[in-house]
Structure 1
Amino acid sequence: MIYPAPLKQGSTIAVTAFSSGVTESQKPRLEAVVDGLRVQGFNVVFGQCLFGNEKHVSAPKEERADELMQFLLDDNIDAVAPPWGGELAIELLPLINFERLKKAKPKWILGFSDVCTISVALYSKLGWASAHCSNLMDLISTCEDALTKQALNYLSLPAGSNFTQNNSEKHTRKWPDIEKNPSAFIVGDETTQWMWLVPPENGEFMSGRLVGGCWDILTHLIETTFLPLSVFKERHLEGVLLYLENVEMSPCDLIRAIHSMMFRGVFSSINGLVLGRNFRVDKPEDELSYLDVLQAHLANKGIPVLYDVDIGHVPP
């Protein structure tokens, strides 16, 4: 595992969109976030593929890939932070020259959602650690949520440090209206409770090397060259913990995704599964609920499963 250097005052964060860009009405929020980062002592540079959002993307795939490569190859850059995810970062994967990147200084990739498309590929191909955390546009200095506030603090710890990340006290399905109020932040209104679907045999904990992200996206990458969990099993003697969170997949979509994982041998390659809160709200016409699917299709895989964890699209 290759860890990028800890962030510190003077570190440079490059901002470019892997997928969705920032619209005109969202620019004040971006400016407010960047002002806060600069107060903390970070340098922030903007790419050209950052603004606008036409047909789900900020720019053609070739331009987005070229700009990402420029930042990843630039040893003056310490981290790359897209404003947020989107839909089509997967278009960049065939265009990234991973051989050239083997000689580059490792950089933190920050964010979640479609950002994980790039971060898991960099881990798979290069061994770079990344940060599955709040997206850049959530890292407003006014934020009072502990998990969101601490994201960059963890990345500033000296190499070899340990830290404990606890569950949030409260979560919410209400994202703040950042266009109306550029300084708005997440305010939890529901009590958070992580729960075991299948507790580990020791009853308390599971361990392993964490890899994962958005389930909707990674279902297309698992056991490809961009996310070969069977290879990770051999690479990491401590084993692998896969973390996933569902955004839009219906219960039937999830059943198909779980079977696809089973067909590819995923459950024999991992020590356990960590699931974030389900963003898609169960609908009466579904007949099956999200929990129905978990109980029927994941409780019998011979691994511990933890769910409703602070991962993904139900913040923080």
Structure 2
Amino acid sequence: MRYPSPLQPGSTVAVTAFSSGVPSACHERLDIVIQGLRDQGFKVLEGQCLRENHAHVSAPAAVRTKELMDFLLDDRVDAIFPPWGGELAMEILPRIDWDLLRHAKPKWLVGFSDISTLSATLTATCGWASLHAANLMQLHPAEQDPLTSAVFSVLSLPEGESVALEQSACHEQIPSNYAADPNALLALCQPTQWQLLSSGQLKGAVQFSGRLIGGCLDTLGLLSNTPYLDLKYLKSQYPADGLILFLENSELSPTAMARMLWTMKLNGVFEQVNGILIGRDGSSKKHEKSLSHVAVLEQVLADLPVPVVYDTDIGHVAPNMPLVNGAFAEVSFQDGQGCIRQTFR
């Protein structure tokens, strides 16, 4: 695994939106978080694909791809922080020169949601470690949440070092509205409780390890077993470690989520992993009460011979535990408490 250089004061951070751009109503928030990067001593390069949003994207696919590739190949750049995710990052995948990136110096790509469409594939196809974590728009300079603040601690970690992160105490119930309040901080008021999806072999407490890979189920479920996210191949690169797959649902209804997980199961995706982490469900829409998202997990995943831990700090219900795609991780879950130790090896 190729780890980008540790981020430190003086490092250069590029900000570009290769999925959804930032409309004018949220520009004040964007200015605040960009200034927060500068206040930490980072040099900031602001891309052209950023401050507009039309038809769900910041710019046409060819334009977004070129700007992203320019930053990924520019060795003055140490990290890329998109403002947030979106819906259509997938359309730039075939436009990217993956062979060129395999031979380039790795840079950090940071964020979640549609950002993981690129970050997970970058790890799987090019062997670059990437960071699934809070998006830039959540990184307000005054934010005190430990997991959100840990983003920069993880990015500054040298290769060979480890970091252990524990589950949050509380999580969000209602997401922030940056147009209404540009200085909004995370409102963490709901008690967090990771859950173990019990099977005949697994009850109460589990420990498992492997290389992390994952992100947003809405897109990664569609990419699984394609050349962009071939977990069988990735596992073959680390046969002694194996893989841990982490997933989080953004917008899928229970039935759509069931179909996605069944597709992955029938394609043998879950046969490649030592364990699965599922984030809190992020779908804000009200769905039929006859089937819940938890019921879907029970119906599709409970018979797997590997641990499945759900309602974890991953995804669209903040806070996000920073997880490094490609890092070796040791997951422990006991007495209702979860911890993940990640090692850059």
Band of TM-score, shorter chain: over 0.9
Residue 13 of structure 2 aligns to a residue in which SS?
Answer: strand
Query: Normalization by structure 2: what TM-score?
Result: 0.89
The residue aligned with 2:149 is 149
The residue aligned with 2:248 is 245
How many angstroms apart in 1 are the aligned matches of 2:276 and 2:285? Answer: 22
Residue 189 of structure 1 aligns to a residue in which SS?
Answer: strand
- TM-fit CA distance, 1:249: 1.1
How many angstroms apart in 2 are the aligned matches of 1:11 and 1:153? Answer: 14
Check 1:201–1:233 CA distance in 2 against 1; reply closer, same or farther (3 A cut): farther
The residue aligned with 2:227 is 225
The residue aligned with 2:291 is 288
Alpha-carbon contact 2:281-2:311 (below 8 Å) kept = yes
Counting aligned pairs with the same residue, the percent is 47
- TM-fit CA distance, 1:102: 2.4
The residue aligned with 2:211 is 209
Alpha-carbon contact 1:7-1:155 (below 8 Å) kept = yes
How many angstroms apart in 1 are the aligned matches of 2:256 and 2:177? Answer: 30
Are residues 1:262 and 2:265 paired?
A: yes
- TM-fit CA distance, 1:180: 2.3
- TM-fit CA distance, 1:285: 2.5
Check 1:167–1:63 CA distance in 2 against 1; reply closer, same or farther (3 A cut): same
**Bigger relative CO (Cα 8 Å, ≥ 6 apart):** 2
Give ranges in structure 1 of 5+ residues lacking alignment: none
Are residues 1:304 and 2:304 paired?
A: no
Give ranges in structure 2 of 5+ residues lacking alignment: 320-345
Q: Given the alignment, which residue of 234, 237, 246 partners 2:236?
A: 234
Deviations 1:214-245 (A, max 9, x none): 00111110010111011122111211010000
How many angstroms apart in 1 are the aligned matches of 2:251 and 2:307? Answer: 24
Residue 62 of structure 1 aligns to a residue in which SS?
Answer: helix
CA RMSD of aligned residues (A): 1.4
How many angstroms apart in 1 are the aligned matches of 2:261 and 2:47? Answer: 38
| Bigger proportion of residues as strand | 2
Residue 206 of structure 2 aligns to a residue in which SS?
Answer: coil
Paired residues, number: 316
Alpha-carbon contact 1:209-1:241 (below 8 Å) kept = yes
Residue 110 of structure 2 aligns to a residue in which SS?
Answer: strand
How many angstroms apart in 1 are the aligned matches of 2:271 and 2:154? Answer: 31
Shift >6 Å, 4+ stretches: none
How many angstroms apart in 2 are the aligned matches of 1:255 and 1:117? Answer: 20
Q: Counterparts in 2 of 1:114-193, with a 5 A limit?
A: 114-193=114-193
